Structure 1
Amino acid sequence: MPQPATPSHRPGGTVAPPLRRLLEFTEPSSDDVCLDVARGPGPLPRALRPWVRHVAAVDAPPPLIRERNGRMPTVAFGAGPARVHGGSDPVRAAPRPRARGRGGPDGPASPIRAVRPVPYDGDGARRHDPDTPTVRADATALPYRTGAFTLVTVRSSLLRLGDPRRVLPELLRVCRPGGRLVVAELVRPAAAGRDRDRLERLRDPDHPGTPSVAELTELIASAGGGIRRLDVFTVERPVEPWLAECRDPRAAERIRDALVEEVGGGPRTGARPRLIGGELWFTQNWAHIAAEPVQGRVPAPVQGTSTAAPVK
């Protein structure tokens, strides 16, 4: 049985195992100029900052939800305990290479072992990193020139930023030829149905649905991205911190009841719950995809987009 992947505790915060795995997959370099596009603040820009030349962050809520509610609620992936398993998806997980370049402040080591701590408030909410420039912008019209960044990242946000058929071409547009776009998303196992989305939508009515790995890679390829590497794996996490982010206590109770019923032999939910040390846990499936702009297929800048570079 896989052993628990214990989070790294450092003064000021915790780096969760899934984030460490993503950092190693991303291969940050001391020459990289990075852009992270997300829905609300997240831990990735701060985690990347020691390993790259420059990091900029875009907070890009979808226009429709922004107009309806006045603000965009953030669904955080907590820093609580997690068990990281090797990929069980039919797509083989790619080996995770070491970080490129000379490494971070601790010398030539992989960021999975030496990354700076990611700060979390006591309730698990993510805090803004004051050292990372953040702008608010439409993900389909980023205020940067074509090819401005060597590394563009989007974590757990792609399908929440608007129509991915419009968002992905824009992410690839600002990515330099020879650079890379790294997408990290929850995915649906190939053999699973869509029952899992029912629980996600109970927890978050704005949940856009969970794509399969094939659907996600096809979206990226159709937008002009050449898929270069793929890492598919599962994460087990406690149910209660996840349900604490649910806006409706009655919906949280319905989800909890469904998971407990499944553990007792009831209908499957797609979350594969089980009891670990008397605590209810469930499983998520993640995919990390690294792509690069395909020459001749990246669209021109969106009208009205600034031509200024992010750094000199």
Structure 2
Amino acid sequence: MQENGGAIAPHLRRLLEFVEPDRDDVCLDVARGRGPMPAALGPQVRHMTAVDAMPAPVTAPVPAGTDSSSRASGGSRRRMSTVEFGTGPVRIADGDALPASPAATTREERVRHPVGPDGARIRADATALPYRDNTFSLVTARFSLYNLGHPDHVLRELLRVCRPGGRVVIADLVRGNLAGPDRDRIERLRDPDHPGTPTIARLTEMITSAGGSIRRLDVFTVERPVEPWLAGACDDETADRIRVALIDEVDGGPRTGAKPRVIGGELWFTQTWAHVAAEPIS
């Protein structure tokens, strides 16, 4: 990305620092469409493969069980073994907070979004990845977990293809453990298919239930401009309803849970993001 004259956005840089890529890593990124991770990670790892995953039906059967081989003892990466809680807020002004459109297939876009040294981009079902157990030392999924099929099945696959002693890094939206579900009302208004935002506890519970051991956790708040987010609304009328609700809250009206405010004459709102690093348990 930097070789093409661009700069890595602060929120993406924070994720890269959390991932701790290594020159010996064999990495798999699973996303819906073309996300920024392959281009960002590619120059920092030995081998980079990107999967453009097509959502599987929720009723898809659970894939084969996780690998049964014994886990390497001791761990050679000296990764941090404690849980960390990051603090915010982090402000972002770009439109790269959500996964890119899967329709991005032009040559110009492929040049802007390289996939790493092998140049491979695979289309596959995230609940049945076409790789053997223990293939990768690093597996990443950024804002994709709830868009690729049943999240429990996706998590099992991500952990299955990860080597013992490797790590699976999930980056996604969350809400505080004590926060109510009110925040999801505008999310579902914007996108009727929105599955709901999990609590931090729920996300970590899903990972452990799928066979992962939580190694590190980074939770922080992000302020975003409203308009790029509303561009993904199901229709203009819905976008107007959300916009009015947020402006009403700024003026002292009912709370939406989005904590909107006006910055430089522009309407912004708040989300909570989490980065979770897990290790597969054999």
Q: Which of 23, 26, 32 is residue 39 of structure 1 equivalent to?
A: 32
1:56 corresponds to which residue?
A: 49
After TM superposition, the runs of 4+ consecutive aligned structure 1 residues lying more than 6 A away are none
User: Is 2:237 aligned against 1:285?
Assistant: no
Partners of 2:32 and 2:182 lie apart in 1 by 25
1:63 is displaced (CA, Å) by 2.9
User: Is 2:210 aligned against 1:207?
Assistant: no
User: Is 2:174 aligned against 1:187?
Assistant: yes
RMSD: 2.4
Gap change, CA 1:144 and 1:13, over 3 Å in 2: same
User: Is 2:16 aligned against 1:23?
Assistant: yes
1:61 is displaced (CA, Å) by 2.1
Partners of 1:251 and 1:165 lie apart in 2 by 31
1:92 is displaced (CA, Å) by 5.4
Q: Deviations over 1:150-175 (max 9, x none)?
A: 00000101011111121111110100
TM-score of the aligned structures, taking structure 1 as reference length: 0.71
Partners of 1:9 and 1:224 lie apart in 2 by 36
8 Å CA contact 1:58, 1:134 repeated in 2: yes
The amino acid across from 1:93 in the alignment is: F
1:13 corresponds to which residue?
A: 6
1:11 is displaced (CA, Å) by 5.2
1:137 corresponds to which residue?
A: 124
Gap change, CA 1:28 and 1:278, over 3 Å in 2: same
2:79 corresponds to which residue?
A: none
TM-score of the aligned structures, taking structure 2 as reference length: 0.78
Gap change, CA 1:155 and 1:254, over 3 Å in 2: same
2:155 corresponds to which residue?
A: 168
Gap change, CA 1:9 and 1:181, over 3 Å in 2: closer
1:190 is displaced (CA, Å) by 2.3
Q: Which of 70, 82, 93 is residue 85 of structure 2 equivalent to?
A: 93
Partners of 1:9 and 1:27 lie apart in 2 by 18
Q: State the SS of the aligned residue for 1:210.
A: coil
The amino acid across from 1:135 in the alignment is: I
Gap change, CA 1:187 and 1:259, over 3 Å in 2: same
Partners of 1:64 and 1:174 lie apart in 2 by 21
Q: Which of 211, 215, 226 is residue 228 of structure 1 equivalent to?
A: 215
Q: Deviations over 1:30-81 (max 9, x none)?
A: 000000111111011110011001111111121349xxxxxxxxxxxxxxxx
Aligned residues: 237
User: Is 2:212 aligned against 1:219?
Assistant: no
1:137 is displaced (CA, Å) by 0.8
Partners of 1:224 and 1:63 lie apart in 2 by 21
8 Å CA contact 2:134, 2:161 repeated in 1: yes
1:241 is displaced (CA, Å) by 1.4
8 Å CA contact 1:94, 1:229 repeated in 2: no
Q: State the SS of the aligned residue for 1:162.
A: coil
1:12 is displaced (CA, Å) by 4.3
Q: Deviations over 1:235-272 (max 9, x none)?
A: 10111111122231111111101100000111111110
Q: State the SS of the aligned residue for 2:125.
A: coil
Gap change, CA 1:9 and 1:238, over 3 Å in 2: farther
Partners of 1:92 and 1:266 lie apart in 2 by 36
Q: State the SS of the aligned residue for 1:31.
A: coil
Percent of pairs with identical residues = 66
Partners of 1:130 and 1:263 lie apart in 2 by 41
Gap change, CA 1:266 and 1:155, over 3 Å in 2: same
1:133 is displaced (CA, Å) by 1.3
Gap change, CA 1:240 and 1:138, over 3 Å in 2: same
The amino acid across from 1:153 in the alignment is: T
Q: Which runs of 5+ in 1 are unaligned?
A: 1-7, 66-90, 96-119, 296-312
Partners of 1:267 and 1:94 lie apart in 2 by 29
Q: Which runs of 5+ in 2 are unaligned?
A: 59-82, 88-95
